[in-house]
Amino acid sequence: MNKKPIIIGIGELLWDMLPTGKKVGGAPVNFVYHASRSGAESYAISAVGKDSLGNEIMQEIDKVGISYVIEKTDYPTGTVLVQLNNGIPSYTIIEGVAWDYIPLTEKMRELAQKADAICFGTLAQRSEVSRNTIQAILSLVPEQSYRILDINIRQHYYSKEIITESLRSCNVFKINDDELSLLKKMYKKQHLIDEEVCRCFLKEFNLKFLILTAGADYSRILTPDDSSYIKTPKVKVVDTVGAGDSFTGAFISSILDGKSLSEAHQTAVDRAAYVCTKAGAWV
């Protein structure tokens, strides 16, 4: 009997303060949630505060049955103010919160050494403490496992240095079309079309997969010797919160389950489209 793959998401864990009320969020935990829905043994690694918002987050995570290694710190639980414009979110992210101070623990180290896949981003690396923890965990993940960078650019919380270091630490790169436009300028590749830029990153950083999502238009997944392109299905969008995370979680779970590139891509597209028809990331 095949064991379930072990999948980790490490980074921000917070409350999305939506116009309709608060929902648990953070790209790594959203990724973990959807990976668990695809049958993986999934763990969120993060930190919350010793406060009522932290207690409530833990209760919500327990309800949906995600496994976790979540430390309690002396900093407040993270919150993000989310405004929706025609279902498209914009974020105001509060600084100096618990997930900026994720401590490195022995339990995290042990988990990293067993991981089949780990997802991380640039946002949680805005602070030195969490950046050091994330990089330490990545260094312990087995060489053959998937290390997924979802850059998740927000506000001013990124730099070329952190992005480049993160690209060197990953072998799967997930990016959307807006982020690609920013990186074209940052890496001086404006003269190239999108697919050529993606091929450059694929080769330069020795990636196994590069995942490009272009919202309502299409998604493309590249490997060194293959590619898959799918037009985004038309659905009635409630909001797009967590759609990208659900895409990545479903894709990696499917690849670990032995599906082909095109099958895993279709599974990811279907999952993300469904998430867009519901409020919030956890559906």
What pLDDT digit, counting tens, does each position of 210-231 carry?
999 998 899 999 999 999 999 9
Please report the pLDDT score of residue 62 as a whole number.
93
Please report the pLDDT score of residue 1 as a whole number.
40
Residue 280 pLDDT exceeds 80: no
Residue 166 pLDDT exceeds 90: yes
Residues 75, 201: Cα–Cα separation, whole Å: 37
Please report the pLDDT score of residue 19 as a whole number.
80
Partnered with residue 221 across adjacent β-strands are 211, 228
What is the phi-psi region of residue 12: left when phi exceeds 0, alpha when psi lies from -120 to 50, beta otherwise? beta
Residues 54, 13: Cα–Cα separation, whole Å: 10
The single-letter DSSP state of residue 2 is P
- Comparing 28-42, 199-213, 234-248, 259-273, which segment has the lowest mean pLDDT? 234-248
What pLDDT digit, counting tens, does each position of 81-99 carry?
888 787 777 788 889 999 9
- Calculate the alpha carbon distances from 79 to 29, 61, 202 in Å: 14, 16, 34
Which domains, from first to last, does the chain contain?
6-276 (3.40.1190.20)
Q: Which two tokens stand for residue 6?
A: 């072990």
